[in-house]
């Protein structure tokens, strides 16, 4: 028999059988996660299914991040219901302001190398950066997993994404992810897993890998997985107890195809409205006016992202008149680290609005909502029409540095020019 991919190995382990691409297997789940946007419906399904208890409360996590804080009269009772359920069954709740679910799933040590994570939110693929098979599900699947601890999965075949070379100055993981989305298309990895490998993947820090894994679902991927290495171990050292049990692909693993990316050939790019795979190189869109700049989300709201943006903003020395710069740290840990080192104080004094940790503005479930006709440039992962709550707004997606450079000038700007042009 030929060798196996990381996905085939993890799903073999989780299903206790020899799982190969195309097989349909029932797997034991390590951790199942839901949010204030998905758990309320899951509780409806749970009750309708006739269940009265959860399979193992210690393997469930609920996070309030879409409605943090509750933006409408209808959302507060949804959260209250989830709190009551969690308290009755002993499930941990990360309440409003504690962070974005995907950041908390990695930051809290709940995402183990080699593990199977399901999350009732599409960006649950983020956990692949830590060598887990992490995938998104809906509320009904979450309910079934809460009851049984299990889920059926079709074992995906895998696209090997080989990263070589080094990115130039001014080019960031978000540019790699967007360039890949442009190359593969919004359904280019549909039903498939992506396995990131090669020297360029080893060079990436864990916080950078999280960006690529997170964006893999924008190509339709079921999972976006990295190998575990010393960077993974070091990231997890203070977060996770016990020996790690990572999974490597076999040398003779069979891939659906291989995509080679030379990182040195990638420059800053922008996803144009209203599709994530509608990619333009920065030179094609410089000068487009922007009215709101959003730095945050499960893609671009980590300390590393916000520091990259801050560096450009500090070099620029201002936020352009008429631009609303909104920053939402991905978690309380992120927020604390940026308060302690003075980054947030400096950004606030320049006129930035710092929101509590959460993900609402990205998908229009919490304010701020852009004005009619506004152009927004954002570190988020999706730019669908009306995504941020206003159908007449246009959303451009870019790296934290490109977003920050655009905040300085009030128009889409190449971050590589911020050294001189911005002064």
Partner 1 sequence: MNIELEGPAFVVGDDINTDYIISSTRKKETLDPGLLKAFLFESIDPGMASSIRAGAILVTGRNFGCGSAMEVAVTAVVAAGIRAVLAQSFARTYYRNAINNGLIPVECDTRGIVNGAQLHVLLDPAGARVVDRTRGCEVAGHPLPAIMLQILSEGGLVPYFRKHHDFVTP
CA distance 383 to 194: 22
**3-state secondary structure (DSSP) of residue 28:** strand
Residue with tokens 């959003």: 294
Which segment (150-158, 206-214, 312-320, 324-332) binds partner 1 by CB under 8 A?
A: 150-158
CA distance 191 to 204: 26
CA distance 165 to 186: 25
CB of residue 421 to partner 1, shortest distance in Å:
36
> Contact between 257 and partner 1 (CB under 8 A)?
no
With CA atoms as reference, report the closest residue to 174 among 132, 204, 142. 204
* Contact letters for partner 1, residues 74-113 (x by CB under 8 A): xx--x-----------------------------------
Beta carbon nearer to partner 1, 24 or 348:
24
For residue 122, is the peptide bond before it cis, meaning its omega torsion is within 30 degrees of 0? Answer: no
CB of residue 192 to partner 1, shortest distance in Å:
9
> Contact between 150 and partner 1 (CB under 8 A)?
yes
How many beta carbons lie within 10 A of that of residue 90, not counting itself?
A: 11
Beta carbon nearer to partner 1, 306 or 393:
393
What the block records as the tokens of 359 is 């993900």
Given candidates 84, 348, 386, 421, which one binds partner 1 under the rule CB under 8 A? 386
With CA atoms as reference, report the closest residue to 221 among 123, 116, 145, 119. 123
For residue 136, is the peptide bond before it cis, meaning its omega torsion is within 30 degrees of 0? Answer: no
Residues 65, 66, 70, 73, CA torsion sign: negative
Contacts of 37 (CB under 8 A, 6+ apart): 66, 67, 121, 365
Which segment (88-96, 103-111, 235-243, 387-395) binds partner 1 by CB under 8 A?
A: 387-395
Which segment (173-181, 185-193, 311-319, 403-411) binds partner 1 by CB under 8 A?
A: 185-193
* Contact letters for partner 1, residues 14-53 (x by CB under 8 A): ----------x-x----------xx-xx--xx--xxxx--
Given candidates 4, 9, 209, 222, which one binds partner 1 under the rule CB under 8 A? 222
CA distance 88 to 422: 55
Given candidates 122, 164, 336, 337, which one binds partner 1 under the rule CB under 8 A? 122
Which segment (6-14, 70-78, 171-179, 334-342) binds partner 1 by CB under 8 A?
A: 70-78
With CA atoms as reference, report the closest residue to 297 among 269, 327, 277. 327
Task: Specify the DSSP element, H or E, that contains 63.
Answer: strand 60-63
Which segment (138-146, 335-343, 394-402, 407-415) binds partner 1 by CB under 8 A?
A: 138-146
Under 8 Å between Cβ of 375 and 394: yes
CA distances from 86 to 93, 144, 165 (A): 7, 16, 47
Beta carbon nearer to partner 1, 68 or 330:
68
Beta carbon nearer to partner 1, 308 or 383:
383
Given candidates 220, 267, 273, 351, which one binds partner 1 under the rule CB under 8 A? 220
- β-sheet with 292-296: strand ranges across: 279-281, 269-271, 394-397, 375-378, 292-296, 324-328, 353-354
Beta carbon nearer to partner 1, 385 or 416:
385
With CA atoms as reference, report the closest residue to 126 among 341, 379, 352, 381. 381
CB of residue 320 to partner 1, shortest distance in Å:
28
CB of residue 167 to partner 1, shortest distance in Å:
27
* Contact letters for partner 1, residues 344-383 (x by CB under 8 A): -------------------xxx---x------------x-
> Contact between 141 and partner 1 (CB under 8 A)?
yes
**Interacting residues with partner 1 (CB under 8 A):** 24, 26, 37-38, 40-41, 44-45, 48-51, 67, 71-72, 74-75, 78, 120-122, 136-141, 143-144, 147-148, 150-152, 154, 186-187, 190-191, 220, 222, 275, 363-365, 369, 382, 384-387, 389, 391
């Amino acid at each position: 028999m030929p060798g196996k991919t990381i996905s085939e190995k993890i799903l073999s382990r989780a299903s206790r059988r020899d799982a190969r691409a195309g097989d349909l297997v029932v797997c034991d789940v390590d951790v199942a996660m839901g949010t204030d946007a998905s758990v309320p419906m899951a509780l409806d399904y749970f009750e309708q299914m006739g269940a009265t208890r959860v399979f193992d409360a210690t393997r469930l996590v609920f996070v309030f991040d879409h409605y943090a804080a509750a933006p409408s009269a209808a959302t507060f009772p949804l959260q209250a219901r989830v709190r009551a359920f969690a308290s009755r069954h002993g499930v941990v709740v990360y309440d409003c302001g504690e962070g974005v679910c995907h950041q908390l799933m990695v930051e809290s040590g709940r995402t183990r190398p080699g593990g199977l994570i399901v999350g009732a939110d599409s960006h649950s693929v983020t956990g692949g950066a830590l060598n887990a098979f992490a995938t998104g599900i809906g509320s009904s699947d979450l309910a079934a997993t809460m009851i049984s601890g299990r889920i059926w999965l079709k074992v995906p075949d895998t696209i090997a994404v080989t990263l070589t070379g080094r990115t130039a100055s001014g080019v960031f993981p978000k540019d790699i992810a967007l360039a890949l989305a442009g190359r593969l298309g919004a359904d280019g990895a549909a039903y498939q897993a992506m396995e990131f490998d090669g020297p360029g993947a080893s060079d990436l820090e864990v916080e950078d890998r999280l960006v690529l894994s997170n964006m893999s679902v924008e190509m339709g991927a079921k999972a976006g997985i990295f190998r575990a290495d010393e960077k993974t171990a070091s990231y997890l050292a203070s977060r996770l107890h016990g020996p790690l049990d990572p999974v490597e692909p076999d040398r003779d693993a069979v891939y659906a195809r291989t995509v080679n990316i030379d990182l040195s050939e990638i420059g800053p790019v922008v996803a144009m409205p209203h599709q994530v795979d509608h990619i333009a190189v920065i030179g094609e869109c410089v000068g487009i006016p922007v009215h709101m700049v959003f730095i945050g989300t499960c893609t671009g709201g980590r300390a590393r992202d916000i520091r990259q943006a801050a560096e450009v903003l500090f070099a620029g020395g201002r936020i352009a008149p008429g631009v609303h710069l909104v920053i939402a740290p991905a978690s309380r840990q992120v927020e604390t680290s940026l308060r302690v080192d003075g980054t947030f104080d400096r950004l606030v004094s320049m006129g930035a609005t710092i929101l509590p940790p959460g993900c609402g503005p990205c998908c229009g479930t919490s304010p701020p909502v852009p004005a009619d006709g506004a152009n927004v440039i954002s570190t988020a992962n999706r730019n669908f029409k009306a995504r941020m709550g206003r159908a007449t707004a246009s959303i451009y997606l870019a790296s934290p540095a490109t977003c920050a450079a655009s905040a300085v000038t009030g128009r889409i700007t190449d971050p590589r020019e911020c050294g001189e042009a911005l002064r």
